[in-house]
Amino acid sequence: MKFKRRAFLKISGAGLAFAPGLLLDAARKLDLAADGHRLVVLQLSGGNDGLNTVVPFEDDSYHRSRPALAIRKPQVLRLKGTGEIGLHPSMEGMRKLHDEGHLAIIQGVGYPSPDRSHFRSMDIWHTADPEVKDKNKGWLGKALEAKAASLGGLHIGAGSLPLALHGERHVASIQNLDFIELLSGSKGRKLKRIMRSVNSTPRAGRPGFVQGLANETLDSLEKIIEASKSPAPVEYPETELGRRMKLAGQMVTGSYPARILYLSQGGYDTHARQAAVHTTLLGDLSSSLTAFYRHVEKADVADRVTLMVFSEFGRRVKENASLGTDHGCAAPMFILSGKAKGGLHGSNPDFTKLEGGDLQFTTDFRNVYATLLEEILKIDSRKLLGMSFEKLPLFS
Protein backbone atom coordinates (compact mmCIF):
# COMPACT_ATOMS: atom_id res chain seq x y z
CA MET A 1 0.00 0.00 0.00
CA LYS A 2 1.30 3.39 -0.83
CA PHE A 3 0.86 4.68 2.70
CA LYS A 4 3.68 2.63 4.04
CA ARG A 5 6.45 4.95 3.11
CA ARG A 6 4.34 8.03 3.08
CA ALA A 7 3.71 7.73 6.79
CA PHE A 8 7.41 7.87 7.28
CA LEU A 9 7.81 10.89 5.17
CA LYS A 10 5.23 12.75 7.14
CA ILE A 11 6.32 11.66 10.56
CA SER A 12 9.88 12.54 9.90
CA GLY A 13 9.42 15.47 7.60
CA ALA A 14 6.83 17.48 9.50
CA GLY A 15 6.16 19.49 6.41
CA LEU A 16 9.79 20.49 6.06
CA ALA A 17 11.82 19.86 2.97
CA PHE A 18 13.50 16.49 2.91
CA ALA A 19 15.45 14.19 0.67
CA PRO A 20 13.47 11.04 -0.10
CA GLY A 21 16.54 8.83 -0.40
CA LEU A 22 17.65 9.69 3.08
CA LEU A 23 14.25 8.89 4.47
CA LEU A 24 14.07 5.47 2.97
CA ASP A 25 17.39 4.85 4.62
CA ALA A 26 16.02 6.02 7.92
CA ALA A 27 13.02 3.79 7.46
CA ARG A 28 15.24 0.81 7.12
CA LYS A 29 17.13 1.80 10.21
CA LEU A 30 13.95 1.92 12.22
CA ASP A 31 13.42 -1.75 11.77
CA LEU A 32 13.93 -3.15 15.24
CA ALA A 33 16.28 -5.75 13.87
CA ALA A 34 18.72 -2.94 13.21
CA ASP A 35 19.63 -0.50 15.93
CA GLY A 36 16.34 1.23 16.52
CA HIS A 37 16.54 1.50 20.26
CA ARG A 38 13.23 2.73 21.65
CA LEU A 39 12.93 5.04 24.63
CA VAL A 40 9.69 4.76 26.56
CA VAL A 41 9.10 7.46 29.17
CA LEU A 42 6.60 6.89 31.94
CA GLN A 43 5.61 9.86 34.06
CA LEU A 44 4.19 9.36 37.54
CA SER A 45 2.10 12.49 37.99
CA GLY A 46 1.51 14.16 41.32
CA GLY A 47 4.86 13.55 43.02
CA ASN A 48 5.56 9.94 43.89
CA ASP A 49 6.60 9.20 47.45
CA GLY A 50 10.08 7.85 46.75
CA LEU A 51 10.76 6.79 50.30
CA ASN A 52 7.83 4.39 50.39
CA THR A 53 8.64 3.12 46.90
CA VAL A 54 12.33 2.37 47.33
CA VAL A 55 12.44 1.88 51.07
CA PRO A 56 15.50 2.54 53.27
CA PHE A 57 14.14 0.05 55.79
CA GLU A 58 17.29 -0.20 57.92
CA ASP A 59 17.36 3.52 58.67
CA ASP A 60 15.76 4.38 62.00
CA SER A 61 15.21 7.98 60.93
CA TYR A 62 12.90 6.71 58.20
CA HIS A 63 10.74 4.83 60.68
CA ARG A 64 10.82 7.67 63.20
CA SER A 65 9.70 10.23 60.62
CA ARG A 66 6.76 8.11 59.55
CA PRO A 67 5.22 6.40 62.53
CA ALA A 68 2.05 5.60 60.60
CA LEU A 69 3.22 5.32 57.00
CA ALA A 70 6.65 3.68 57.14
CA ILE A 71 6.74 0.26 55.51
CA ARG A 72 7.66 -2.18 58.29
CA LYS A 73 10.84 -4.16 57.81
CA PRO A 74 9.24 -7.58 57.41
CA GLN A 75 6.94 -6.27 54.67
CA VAL A 76 9.66 -4.71 52.53
CA LEU A 77 10.60 -6.67 49.42
CA ARG A 78 14.33 -7.31 49.70
CA LEU A 79 16.54 -6.62 46.72
CA LYS A 80 19.41 -8.83 45.71
CA GLY A 81 22.78 -7.29 46.47
CA THR A 82 21.72 -4.81 49.14
CA GLY A 83 20.85 -5.25 52.79
CA GLU A 84 19.31 -1.89 53.50
CA ILE A 85 17.12 -0.91 50.59
CA GLY A 86 13.99 -2.70 49.43
CA LEU A 87 10.80 -2.15 47.46
CA HIS A 88 7.22 -1.45 48.48
CA PRO A 89 5.40 -4.74 49.15
CA SER A 90 3.14 -4.32 46.10
CA MET A 91 6.09 -4.29 43.69
CA GLU A 92 6.85 -7.97 43.41
CA GLY A 93 7.19 -7.85 39.63
CA MET A 94 9.72 -5.05 39.70
CA ARG A 95 11.64 -6.78 42.46
CA LYS A 96 12.01 -9.77 40.19
CA LEU A 97 13.10 -7.57 37.28
CA HIS A 98 15.67 -6.00 39.57
CA ASP A 99 17.01 -9.30 40.76
CA GLU A 100 17.27 -10.50 37.16
CA GLY A 101 19.44 -7.47 36.47
CA HIS A 102 17.07 -5.51 34.21
CA LEU A 103 15.95 -2.78 36.58
CA ALA A 104 18.28 0.04 37.53
CA ILE A 105 17.21 2.24 40.45
CA ILE A 106 18.79 5.67 40.59
CA GLN A 107 18.59 7.09 44.08
CA GLY A 108 18.24 10.72 45.10
CA VAL A 109 17.41 12.30 41.74
CA GLY A 110 16.46 15.96 41.62
CA TYR A 111 17.80 19.36 40.61
CA PRO A 112 19.18 22.51 42.29
CA SER A 113 16.78 24.89 44.10
CA PRO A 114 13.87 22.47 43.97
CA ASP A 115 10.40 23.85 43.29
CA ARG A 116 7.46 22.37 45.16
CA SER A 117 4.79 23.42 42.70
CA HIS A 118 3.61 20.43 40.66
CA PHE A 119 3.40 22.46 37.52
CA ARG A 120 6.65 24.31 37.80
CA SER A 121 8.56 21.20 38.78
CA MET A 122 6.97 19.20 35.98
CA ASP A 123 7.90 21.95 33.53
CA ILE A 124 11.47 21.76 34.79
CA TRP A 125 11.64 18.03 34.16
CA HIS A 126 9.95 18.40 30.78
CA THR A 127 12.19 21.19 29.53
CA ALA A 128 15.31 19.91 31.33
CA ASP A 129 15.84 23.46 32.48
CA PRO A 130 15.48 24.59 36.13
CA GLU A 131 14.71 28.08 34.85
CA VAL A 132 12.24 26.95 32.18
CA LYS A 133 13.47 29.60 29.78
CA ASP A 134 11.58 28.19 26.81
CA LYS A 135 8.14 26.83 27.53
CA ASN A 136 7.57 25.86 23.92
CA LYS A 137 10.04 23.05 23.69
CA GLY A 138 10.57 19.91 25.69
CA TRP A 139 13.69 17.81 25.93
CA LEU A 140 12.23 15.00 23.85
CA GLY A 141 10.78 17.44 21.33
CA LYS A 142 14.30 18.76 20.89
CA ALA A 143 15.61 15.23 20.55
CA LEU A 144 13.13 14.68 17.73
CA GLU A 145 14.34 17.83 16.04
CA ALA A 146 17.97 16.88 16.48
CA LYS A 147 17.49 13.73 14.47
CA ALA A 148 14.67 14.77 12.22
CA ALA A 149 15.13 11.98 9.74
CA SER A 150 15.21 8.99 11.99
CA LEU A 151 13.21 9.68 15.13
CA GLY A 152 9.48 9.79 15.63
CA GLY A 153 7.44 10.19 18.79
CA LEU A 154 4.16 8.86 20.09
CA HIS A 155 2.10 9.91 23.08
CA ILE A 156 -0.28 7.32 24.47
CA GLY A 157 -2.77 9.00 26.77
CA ALA A 158 -5.67 11.39 27.13
CA GLY A 159 -5.40 15.14 27.28
CA SER A 160 -2.79 17.44 25.88
CA LEU A 161 0.54 16.49 24.46
CA PRO A 162 3.11 16.57 27.28
CA LEU A 163 5.44 19.57 27.16
CA ALA A 164 8.40 17.16 26.99
CA LEU A 165 7.32 16.27 23.44
CA HIS A 166 6.75 19.82 22.23
CA GLY A 167 8.97 21.03 19.44
CA GLU A 168 8.99 21.88 15.79
CA ARG A 169 7.52 18.53 14.87
CA HIS A 170 4.09 17.09 15.40
CA VAL A 171 3.95 14.08 17.63
CA ALA A 172 1.00 11.75 17.30
CA SER A 173 -1.16 11.19 20.34
CA ILE A 174 -3.69 8.40 20.87
CA GLN A 175 -5.82 7.35 23.80
CA ASN A 176 -6.82 3.92 22.59
CA LEU A 177 -7.72 2.11 19.41
CA ASP A 178 -11.32 3.34 19.16
CA PHE A 179 -10.55 5.31 16.07
CA ILE A 180 -10.02 2.20 13.98
CA GLU A 181 -13.77 1.82 13.76
CA LEU A 182 -14.14 5.44 12.80
CA LEU A 183 -11.86 5.05 9.81
CA SER A 184 -13.14 1.75 8.50
CA GLY A 185 -16.18 0.89 6.42
CA SER A 186 -17.71 3.04 3.72
CA LYS A 187 -18.40 5.93 6.07
CA GLY A 188 -14.85 5.79 7.39
CA ARG A 189 -13.48 5.92 3.90
CA LYS A 190 -15.65 8.90 3.10
CA LEU A 191 -14.45 10.58 6.27
CA LYS A 192 -10.83 9.94 5.36
CA ARG A 193 -11.41 11.33 1.91
CA ILE A 194 -12.89 14.53 3.32
CA MET A 195 -10.06 14.84 5.84
CA ARG A 196 -7.51 14.50 3.08
CA SER A 197 -9.37 16.81 0.80
CA VAL A 198 -10.02 19.74 3.12
CA ASN A 199 -6.42 19.62 4.23
CA SER A 200 -4.91 19.49 0.80
CA THR A 201 -4.75 23.22 0.14
CA PRO A 202 -1.75 24.92 1.70
CA ARG A 203 -2.73 27.58 4.20
CA ALA A 204 -0.80 30.33 5.81
CA GLY A 205 -1.14 31.34 9.44
CA ARG A 206 -3.02 29.61 12.19
CA PRO A 207 -5.14 27.09 10.28
CA GLY A 208 -1.86 25.83 8.81
CA PHE A 209 -1.10 24.30 12.17
CA VAL A 210 -4.31 22.27 12.14
CA GLN A 211 -3.80 21.28 8.55
CA GLY A 212 -0.33 19.90 9.27
CA LEU A 213 -1.65 18.09 12.29
CA ALA A 214 -4.54 16.59 10.34
CA ASN A 215 -2.31 15.18 7.65
CA GLU A 216 0.15 13.78 10.16
CA THR A 217 -2.67 12.27 12.13
CA LEU A 218 -4.00 10.29 9.25
CA ASP A 219 -0.54 9.16 8.27
CA SER A 220 0.41 7.93 11.71
CA LEU A 221 -2.95 6.25 12.27
CA GLU A 222 -2.41 3.98 9.32
CA LYS A 223 0.85 2.90 10.90
CA ILE A 224 -0.63 2.48 14.35
CA ILE A 225 -3.37 0.26 13.00
CA GLU A 226 -0.74 -1.88 11.36
CA ALA A 227 1.44 -2.12 14.46
CA SER A 228 -1.52 -2.87 16.70
CA LYS A 229 -1.99 -6.15 14.85
CA SER A 230 1.17 -7.32 16.54
CA PRO A 231 0.20 -9.91 19.17
CA ALA A 232 0.69 -9.32 22.89
CA PRO A 233 1.54 -12.78 24.25
CA VAL A 234 1.49 -11.67 27.89
CA GLU A 235 -1.24 -10.58 30.25
CA TYR A 236 -1.37 -6.90 31.11
CA PRO A 237 -3.38 -5.60 34.06
CA GLU A 238 -6.91 -4.47 33.19
CA THR A 239 -6.15 -0.92 34.26
CA GLU A 240 -5.73 2.29 32.32
CA LEU A 241 -1.97 2.06 32.69
CA GLY A 242 -2.04 -1.62 31.81
CA ARG A 243 -3.97 -0.97 28.61
CA ARG A 244 -1.70 1.87 27.61
CA MET A 245 1.45 -0.10 28.35
CA LYS A 246 0.06 -2.91 26.26
CA LEU A 247 -0.42 -0.54 23.36
CA ALA A 248 3.14 0.72 23.90
CA GLY A 249 4.35 -2.89 23.85
CA GLN A 250 2.53 -3.50 20.59
CA MET A 251 3.86 -0.32 19.04
CA VAL A 252 7.40 -1.38 19.95
CA THR A 253 7.13 -5.01 18.87
CA GLY A 254 5.00 -4.13 15.86
CA SER A 255 7.70 -1.78 14.59
CA TYR A 256 5.69 1.42 14.77
CA PRO A 257 8.23 3.96 13.64
CA ALA A 258 8.43 6.01 16.83
CA ARG A 259 11.65 5.90 18.74
CA ILE A 260 10.23 7.84 21.66
CA LEU A 261 7.01 6.82 23.41
CA TYR A 262 5.44 8.71 26.27
CA LEU A 263 2.87 7.58 28.85
CA SER A 264 1.77 8.67 32.27
CA GLN A 265 0.10 7.35 35.37
CA GLY A 266 -1.66 9.86 37.62
CA GLY A 267 -2.78 9.93 41.22
CA TYR A 268 0.48 10.23 43.14
CA ASP A 269 -0.40 13.44 44.98
CA THR A 270 -1.04 11.61 48.23
CA HIS A 271 -1.64 14.37 50.78
CA ALA A 272 -4.09 12.31 52.79
CA ARG A 273 -4.62 8.63 53.63
CA GLN A 274 -1.76 7.63 51.44
CA ALA A 275 -1.18 3.99 52.27
CA ALA A 276 -4.03 2.30 50.39
CA VAL A 277 -3.85 4.56 47.33
CA HIS A 278 -0.11 4.24 47.06
CA THR A 279 -0.30 0.46 47.31
CA THR A 280 -2.78 0.34 44.44
CA LEU A 281 -0.76 2.72 42.28
CA LEU A 282 2.56 0.97 42.80
CA GLY A 283 0.97 -2.44 42.32
CA ASP A 284 -0.47 -1.28 39.00
CA LEU A 285 2.86 0.25 38.04
CA SER A 286 4.82 -2.86 38.90
CA SER A 287 2.46 -5.28 37.12
CA SER A 288 2.19 -3.07 34.02
CA LEU A 289 5.93 -2.62 33.76
CA THR A 290 6.55 -6.30 34.28
CA ALA A 291 4.06 -7.27 31.59
CA PHE A 292 5.66 -4.77 29.24
CA TYR A 293 9.12 -6.16 29.87
CA ARG A 294 8.01 -9.76 29.39
CA HIS A 295 6.28 -8.70 26.20
CA VAL A 296 9.36 -7.15 24.64
CA GLU A 297 11.48 -9.97 26.03
CA LYS A 298 9.35 -12.54 24.21
CA ALA A 299 9.66 -10.52 21.03
CA ASP A 300 13.39 -10.65 21.55
CA VAL A 301 13.84 -6.87 21.59
CA ALA A 302 14.31 -6.26 25.33
CA ASP A 303 17.82 -5.00 24.83
CA ARG A 304 16.63 -2.48 22.29
CA VAL A 305 13.99 -0.94 24.51
CA THR A 306 14.60 1.29 27.50
CA LEU A 307 11.89 2.48 29.83
CA MET A 308 12.49 5.45 32.11
CA VAL A 309 10.21 6.23 35.07
CA PHE A 310 10.17 9.61 36.79
CA SER A 311 7.98 11.87 38.89
CA GLU A 312 8.13 15.66 39.30
CA PHE A 313 9.32 15.36 42.91
CA GLY A 314 9.34 13.07 45.90
CA ARG A 315 7.58 13.87 49.13
CA ARG A 316 8.58 15.21 52.51
CA VAL A 317 10.42 12.87 54.82
CA LYS A 318 7.95 13.38 57.67
CA GLU A 319 4.41 12.19 57.18
CA ASN A 320 1.69 14.81 57.74
CA ALA A 321 -1.24 14.74 60.12
CA SER A 322 -3.64 13.37 57.50
CA LEU A 323 -1.82 10.06 57.08
CA GLY A 324 -0.30 11.44 53.93
CA THR A 325 2.81 13.24 52.76
CA ASP A 326 3.35 16.71 51.32
CA HIS A 327 5.45 17.86 48.38
CA GLY A 328 9.15 17.15 48.78
CA CYS A 329 12.28 17.01 46.64
CA ALA A 330 14.66 14.25 45.62
CA ALA A 331 13.33 10.81 44.73
CA PRO A 332 14.39 7.65 42.90
CA MET A 333 14.05 7.01 39.18
CA PHE A 334 13.82 3.67 37.40
CA ILE A 335 15.45 2.48 34.22
CA LEU A 336 14.17 -0.79 32.82
CA SER A 337 15.93 -2.41 29.87
CA GLY A 338 17.53 -5.62 28.70
CA LYS A 339 20.62 -3.48 28.35
CA ALA A 340 20.38 -1.90 31.81
CA LYS A 341 22.95 -2.42 34.48
CA GLY A 342 20.49 -3.50 37.15
CA GLY A 343 20.78 -2.59 40.81
CA LEU A 344 21.12 0.55 42.86
CA HIS A 345 22.83 3.62 41.46
CA GLY A 346 23.63 6.91 43.16
CA SER A 347 23.55 7.50 46.90
CA ASN A 348 20.93 6.19 49.28
CA PRO A 349 18.88 8.76 51.23
CA ASP A 350 20.86 10.55 53.91
CA PHE A 351 18.58 11.63 56.73
CA THR A 352 21.37 13.56 58.45
CA LYS A 353 21.50 16.02 55.56
CA LEU A 354 17.92 17.18 55.23
CA GLU A 355 17.16 20.64 53.94
CA GLY A 356 13.98 22.07 55.42
CA GLY A 357 12.79 18.54 56.09
CA ASP A 358 13.50 17.33 52.57
CA LEU A 359 16.02 14.91 51.14
CA GLN A 360 18.71 16.63 49.13
CA PHE A 361 19.31 15.45 45.63
CA THR A 362 22.55 13.62 44.91
CA THR A 363 22.07 13.01 41.18
CA ASP A 364 20.87 15.68 38.77
CA PHE A 365 18.11 14.32 36.53
CA ARG A 366 19.92 15.82 33.58
CA ASN A 367 22.71 13.28 34.12
CA VAL A 368 20.09 10.61 33.49
CA TYR A 369 18.78 12.47 30.43
CA ALA A 370 22.31 12.91 29.09
CA THR A 371 22.94 9.19 29.46
CA LEU A 372 19.74 8.27 27.62
CA LEU A 373 20.30 10.84 24.88
CA GLU A 374 23.84 9.68 24.23
CA GLU A 375 23.50 5.94 24.68
CA ILE A 376 19.97 5.25 23.54
CA LEU A 377 19.14 7.98 21.04
CA LYS A 378 22.73 8.75 19.98
CA ILE A 379 22.28 12.47 20.31
CA ASP A 380 24.78 15.08 21.46
CA SER A 381 23.42 15.78 24.94
CA ARG A 382 25.58 18.80 25.53
CA LYS A 383 24.01 20.67 22.69
CA LEU A 384 20.50 19.65 23.64
CA LEU A 385 20.78 20.31 27.37
CA GLY A 386 22.79 23.50 26.96
CA MET A 387 25.64 22.21 29.09
CA SER A 388 27.63 19.10 29.69
CA PHE A 389 26.34 16.43 32.07
CA GLU A 390 28.37 13.39 32.91
CA LYS A 391 26.91 10.10 31.78
CA LEU A 392 25.96 7.54 34.40
CA PRO A 393 26.93 3.87 34.16
CA LEU A 394 23.33 2.75 33.65
CA PHE A 395 23.90 0.43 30.69
CA SER A 396 26.15 -2.51 30.06
**Between residues 136 and 388, which has the closer beta carbon with respect to another protein?**
136
| Stretch of residues binding another protein (CB under 8 A), selected from 13-21, 53-61, 140-148, 183-191 | 183-191
For residue 113, state whether it binds another protein (rule: CB under 8 A). no
- Residues in binding contact with another protein, number by CB under 8 A: 50
Q: What phi, psi does 234 have (nearest 5°)?
A: -135, 165
Distance CA 335, CA 94 (A): 11
**Between residues 28 and 190, which has the closer beta carbon with respect to another protein?**
190
> What's the chain's Rg over C-alpha atoms?
21
Question: Considering only residues 29, 116, 339, 341, which one is a binding residue for another protein as defined by CB under 8 A?
Answer: 116
Question: Considering only residues 324, 338, 346, 349, which one is a binding residue for another protein as defined by CB under 8 A?
Answer: 324
For residues 205 to 224, the per-residue mask of contacts with another protein, x marking binding by CB under 8 A and - elsewhere, is -xxxxxx-xx-xx--xx---
For residue 140, state whether it binds another protein (rule: CB under 8 A). no
Question: Considering only residues 1, 17, 321, 387, which one is a binding residue for another protein as defined by CB under 8 A?
Answer: 321
**Between residues 43 and 363, which has the closer beta carbon with respect to another protein?**
43
Distance CA 9, CA 64 (A): 58
Q: Do residues 167 and 144 touch, judged by C-beta distance below 8 A?
A: yes
For residues 246 to 285, the per-residue mask of contacts with another protein, x marking binding by CB under 8 A and - elsewhere, is -------------------------xx-------------
Give start and end residues of each alpha helix (H) in the chain.
3-13, 20-30, 60-65, 92-99, 118-127, 139-146, 179-182, 185-198, 206-227, 240-253, 274-298, 365-375, 381-385
Distance CA 169, CA 275 (A): 41
Q: How far is the CB of 2 from another protein (least distance, A)?
A: 20
Q: Do residues 127 and 384 touch, judged by C-beta distance below 8 A?
A: no
Q: How far is the CB of 213 from another protein (least distance, A)?
A: 6
For residue 68, state whether it binds another protein (rule: CB under 8 A). no
Q: How far is the CB of 1 from another protein (least distance, A)?
A: 20
Q: How far is the CB of 394 from another protein (least distance, A)?
A: 30
Those residues whose C-beta lies under 8 Å from the C-beta of residue 381, and which sit 6 or more positions away, are: 369, 370, 371, 373, 374, 388, 389, 391
Q: How far is the CB of 175 from another protein (least distance, A)?
A: 5
Distance CA 371, CA 377 (A): 9
Those residues whose C-beta lies under 8 Å from the C-beta of residue 220, and which sit 6 or more positions away, are: 7, 10, 11, 152, 154, 172
For residue 187, state whether it binds another protein (rule: CB under 8 A). yes
Class of residue 311 by CB neighbours under 10 A (exposed 0-12, middle 13-18, buried 19+)? buried
Distance CA 291, CA 304 (A): 16
Question: Considering only residues 78, 118, 298, 341, which one is a binding residue for another protein as defined by CB under 8 A?
Answer: 118
Q: Could you tell me whether strands 331-337 and 305-311 are parallel, antiparallel, or unpaired per DSSP bridges?
A: antiparallel
**Between residues 9 and 213, which has the closer beta carbon with respect to another protein?**
213
- At residue 353's C-alpha, the angle toward residues 266 and 385, to 5°, is 55
**Between residues 64 and 73, which has the closer beta carbon with respect to another protein?**
64
Which residues here bind another protein, judged by CB under 8 A?
Answer: 45, 116-120, 155, 158-161, 170-175, 179, 182, 187, 190-191, 193-195, 197-201, 203, 206-211, 213-214, 216-217, 220-221, 271-272, 320-322, 324, 326
